[in-house]
Structures are given as structure tokens and as C-alpha cells.
Amino acid sequence: MMAQLSIRVLELVIALHEEGTFTQAAKRMGMTEPALSKRLQLIEHKVQARLFERGRDGAKITDAGRILVAHADEIVHTYYRAIHEIQEARHGERYKLRIGVSAYLSSMLIETLHSIQLPHYLDFMIEITTGFSADMVTELQQRKIDMALVTSPTQIPVISTHCVATNSFMIAFRDDHPLAARTLASFAEVAGYPWIFFKRCVHPALHDLILQRVNAEHPPPHIVHQVSHADQVGALLTNNSIVAWLNPAGIGCFSSAISAWGALRRSRPTESV
């Protein structure tokens, strides 16, 4: 008898393959690990094949699992594409490209995207959603958007990435800071001062990478404040010992914010991360 698997079941198998562990796959699917494990057993019973090997290192996919995932990914994508096109037809929007954009990218890039026009596709439109990079990658996995422009995306096998631009991080500090005369600041120099650092939820991968680079050769940094938006930095930069981590887009927001209360600050690029 041919096994009948729902879209939800196929998504579960895909999630376990992509995440590699029951913990992460269960979190992604919004269920407990025991529930996911039990559901997987039922799936394997239906298809009469072992799809994953359980071990301390997580869930290792089998040859049968690879075959199912390859077809499941195509089926799930087609299903959501159909639902999306139905909704577009219902609202009279036949040509919509949904783009997720990191909140830390330049506003000029967003304006450029918004200005795109295709004369041969009069009904074509671009829908832009902004948010944290990690959230945009998740929405891309869940097919809520068609593509994402984000900073330092997490490497996921099923998502193709291409670097379109590189920007250095910047550090901001008071005009009388000891680094004010520098044109470039190294990790060694920055590590010795208290930090205003962006929260991990803003960009988990980049947050961890910076800390790993610093901790590899220097004592752990003293993080005195954590922020989610650049315009919060001005009120926290209260003395000449603190440095704040910002990217170029954040520097623009920060400069606009501090001009409102007349405080003069300088910024310098850091080493590449």
C-alpha cells in the first residue's frame, strides 16, 4: 500500500535533515523532541524504511532518507508556490517578488530595489520585508519570502548564497576617546575597552564570530550594554572609555540620532571579521 504523507510530515523530515539534531528540528517545527521522535517513527513505519540513524552527534540521514528529502523538498516548494499564486490571483497581484532585507543594510539599497521597474511586466511588484538577518533566513526557509539580502548569512545546504558587497564594521566613541586619533582599530585595541555590543538575536552568527575572534587571542571583552538598534547607542555612550560596535548602515542611524542632542562622536573601522 502506498504511504500517504502530509505536507507537515514532509516539512518535519526536511527540518531534521537540515538542522541535523532533534533539538533544533523540534524547535523549528514548534514541537517537543519526544513528539518529533515519535512522529518520525510513524513516518518510517509508513514508508517501511529507516530515514535517519540516531546518535550522540544528532540525526544522520540514510540513503532512503536522502531520496525522500529530495522529493519532499520539491513537493513542499510546489505546494507553497501554488498557495502563494492562488493568493496573488485572488488579490490581483500576479507578479510579486518577495524580498527580505536585513535591517542593517543600507537604505540606499532598499530604495534601489523599490525603484525597479520591468516595462514588459506591468503587473510586476516587489514586496520588501525588513528584519534581523536570522529572521530573514528563517522566513526564506519557510518560503514566506523568495530571496533575502542579509549580512553574513548562516550557511545552510539547501540555500544558495552569493556575496554582493562587503562592508567593515565600525566602532563609535566619544571625541576624547584614546582611539580618536586612529584611522583603523585592531581587535587587540578594541578588546581593551568596555563594549556596547549588538544583541545576539540581531545576528547570532556574526555576534558569535566576533566574540570567537576576540576570545581566541584576548581576554573576554567587557560588554556593558547590549542594543538591538543603532539609535540607542548615543544615550549609552556616556564616557570616553566605551566603544560601540556598529556597521556602516548603523552609523548612519547613529549619526542622525546624536545630532538631535548635539553630542559629537567619531567612528573608525575595525579589522574585517
DSSP states of the chain as a string? ------HHHHHHHHHHHHH-SHHHHHHHHTS-HHHHHHHHHHHHHHHTS--EEEETTEEEE-HHHHHHHHHHHHHHHHHHHHHHHHHHHHTT--EEEEEEEETTS-HHHHHHHHT---TT-TTEEEEEEEE-HHHHHHHHHTTSSSEEE-SS----TTS----------EEEEETTSTTTT-SSB-HHHHHTS-EEEE-TTT-HHHHHHHHHHHHHHSPPP-EEEEESSGGGSTTT--STT-EEEE-HHHHHHHHHHHHTTT--EEEEEB---
- Provide mean pLDDT across the span 117-122: 61
Higher-pLDDT residue of 223 and 104 is: 223
Least confident stretch, 111-125, 137-151, 169-183:
111-125
Higher-pLDDT residue of 251 and 56 is: 56
- Provide mean pLDDT across the span 74-89: 78
Higher-pLDDT residue of 209 and 93 is: 209
- As a whole number, the mean pLDDT across the chain is 77
- Prediction pTM value: 0.47
What per-residue confidence (pLDDT) applies to 91? 65
- Provide mean pLDDT across the span 11-20: 88
